[in-house]
A and B are shown apart, each in its own frame.
With several copies, the nearest count.
Chain A
Amino acid sequence: MNTVLSLTGISKSFGKVPILHGVDLDVHEGEILSLLGPSGCGKTTILRIIGGFERPDRGRVVLAGKDITDVPPHRRPVNIVFQRYLLFPHLSVFDNVAFGLRIDKVGKRDIERRVREALELVGLEDLADRRATQLSGGQSQRISLARALVKRPQVLLLDEPLSALDQKVRISMQAELRRIHRETGTTFVYVTHDQQEAMSLSNRVVVMNAGRIEQIGTPADVYHRSATKFVSGFVGDANLVAVEALDSAGDGTEVKVVETGQRLRLRQTLPQREAVLVVRPELLRLSATGDDGLSGTISDIAFLGSAVQFHVDLDGMTLRVQEPAGAAPLTLGVGDVVRVVLPDHPVHVLTD
């Protein structure tokens, strides 16, 4: 895979507040790369450095082999879609999309053709003559997308473009973005704090925390094989169970749960004596009988539609268990004693 954009050793502070600590990142041609992290982690600053709106204190930005660290934003072949629906209120939809082409002095006929194509791409060719102020949030954001894409950027930057939209519109816009990416083949760098959005959209996810990259990988990597506790907690929900290996025999290990003292049998060997199991709630099962797994008391139940979530208290430690709604033993209630059963395949383990 070709690297189209590459950041090396990027550091940035605002005043005395450090934001980025030597970030290295390669963006592959044609991929959707998401920068995912909590607010203040520096993801937006990276995007703004790529766009040219911030200058890094240290480090270089190289686009298609050319160092663009000192190129001002209006001379960079990248375009951005901001979080807020910023359409120029004094221009029609057509003129909003044509804005960048007019600046570039593209011929009138070419402008007409390319704007129509861009509007078609986002499915709003009928709205060309509307005023920018007459659009819904979702429509505005599609026009912003068309306005950026019509310039055929080498990299399209998206700064939480869906976060101001309603839940339902957001979900349908995600599918729309995947389609537009497939049809244009443009490289997307996508900033979001929403892990569901990052996972459903991206080829690769960059999980960030406090100005550093915690993990780079496919959505399945970061979800099922989190590199750090932070990643496992930020990407979806995870039970972290600290264990101590007691005895390993064949393909299994007898371990003690550090917090509760309970014993448990794992279907894997541990890389070292002390480790932390990372178990997603939907991988655990509840059982009212038997002596498999860990014993505890249900302290909270939440119906989630397609699933039911249980909080099970185990002597001071709480495990979250998510059962599919159809199969859920709905006779269980708060206060019932149950056993929490681990999956019968190896679970993901973190070591220091």
Chain B
Amino acid sequence: MSLLRSRRRSPGLYLAVVLAFLYLPIAVVVLFSFNSSSTLNLPIKGFSLRWYEAVLTDPTYTSALRNSLIVAVVCAIITTVLGTLAAFGLTHVSPRVRPWLAVLFFAPITLPGLFLGLSLLAWFAKLDIELSLWTVAAAHVVYTFPYFLLVAQSVLDRIDPQYDELAADLGASSLLRFTRVTLPMTWPVLVAGGMLSFVLSFDEFFITFFVIGPQSTVPLVIYSAMRRAIDPSINAFATLLLLVTFLSGVVIAVLARTGRAARKGVKAS
């Protein structure tokens, strides 16, 4: 809108360089996944889907895909339920205590996955819980929970608390206010938070590495494939992982936008 902006020299070139730095490595992997030869040299020899075929028929890859999906879905559901309750709980504690509680909840975000994996393993061992996909899902909940809370808080913080008072004024009890007002106004963002948990869980390697039993997940398979030899089908598998991540990202962005639009419509009208 401002003339000031259009008069500046375009920062386009500079932005292009930064983006290239970020995306070229990824582009290379995607490119190799369609390579018809098995050597990892540029330029690629020809185009083929052979590595994808290899990935989708090899039981190592397909069972890893299935395991990753199970863990990610279970983790997303548990995180969404627990996180929603915690987020609403936080809006109802006194304003003096809230920032401290928030710090406690969000601090684990800065914990390295290594650390979480290590300590959860000790924990499961201590409690004599056998390692399985379920321990992975539980561990992932610990990992994704603060992220979900961050997303949920971002919407709850912006929702006018007077909606709650308004609903009370019109006769709604605490429970009815939650089900008839707060949930309908916030669900897109809560679902977006759930999707984020799904992606984080699907991509997670380190915690999984520690707390999984005999089974395997997508990142683990990629990792062990890397260690064995350079099998080009790994590029196809990684591209699939990338695709899941990217599509989830799109869904998250759309949902978050829906939620924001609904809020804006009210405040700006």
Contact = CB atoms under 8 A, between A and B. Distances in A.
Contact of B4 (A53, A87, A140): A53
Given A52-B3, A72-B7, A151 B265 contact: no
Interface in B75-128: none
Contact of B169 (A80, A87, A133): A80
A79 B169 contact: yes
A80 B169 CA distance: 7
9 contacts: A72-B7, A73-B165, A80-B169, A84-B160, A86-B166, A88-B185, A89-B266, A132-B265, A151-B171
B162 interface: yes
Given A86-B160, A86-B266, A135-B269, A51 B169 contact: yes
Contact of B173 (A74, A84, A132, A147): A74
A173 to B, nearest CB: 16
A100 to B, nearest CB: 4
Interface in A73-107: 73-75, 78-80, 82, 84-90, 99-100, 103-104
Q: For the complex, would chain B's binding face be called helix, strand, loop or mixed by DSSP majority?
A: helix
A87 B173 contact: no
A184 interface: no
Contacts of A52: 3, 168
B13 interface: no
B2 interface: yes
A129 B187 CA distance: 23
B1 interface: yes
- Of the four ranges (under 10, 10 to 19, 20 to 34, 35 or more), the interface on chain B belongs to 20 to 34
A10 to B, nearest CB: 14
B176 to A, nearest CB: 6
Contacts of A55: 3
B2 A100 contact: no
B17 interface: no
Contacts of B266: 85-87, 89, 132-133
B181 interface: yes
A54 interface: yes
B18 to A, nearest CB: 28
A137 interface: yes
A53 B165 contact: yes
B262 interface: yes
A22 B50 CA distance: 65
Given A53-B4, A72-B7, A133 B265 contact: yes
B246 interface: no
Contacts of A85: 266, 269
A90 B169 contact: no
B185 to A, nearest CB: 6
A136 interface: yes
A72 to B, nearest CB: 6
Chain A to chain B: the 9 pairs with minimum beta-carbon distance, closest first: A133-B265, A100-B170, A103-B171, A73-B168, A90-B184, A89-B266, A74-B168, A80-B169, A103-B172
B223 interface: no
Contacts of B180: 99, 103
A68 to B, nearest CB: 13
Contacts of B163: 86, 88
A103 B176 contact: yes
Nearest to B165: A53
Contact of A89 (B1, B162, B168, B265): B265
A86 B269 contact: no
A90 B262 contact: yes
Given A86-B166, A88-B163, A89-B185, A74 B172 contact: yes
A69 to B, nearest CB: 11
Nearest to B262: A89
B186 to A, nearest CB: 10
A184 B185 CA distance: 33
Nearest to B2: A53
A80 B171 CA distance: 11
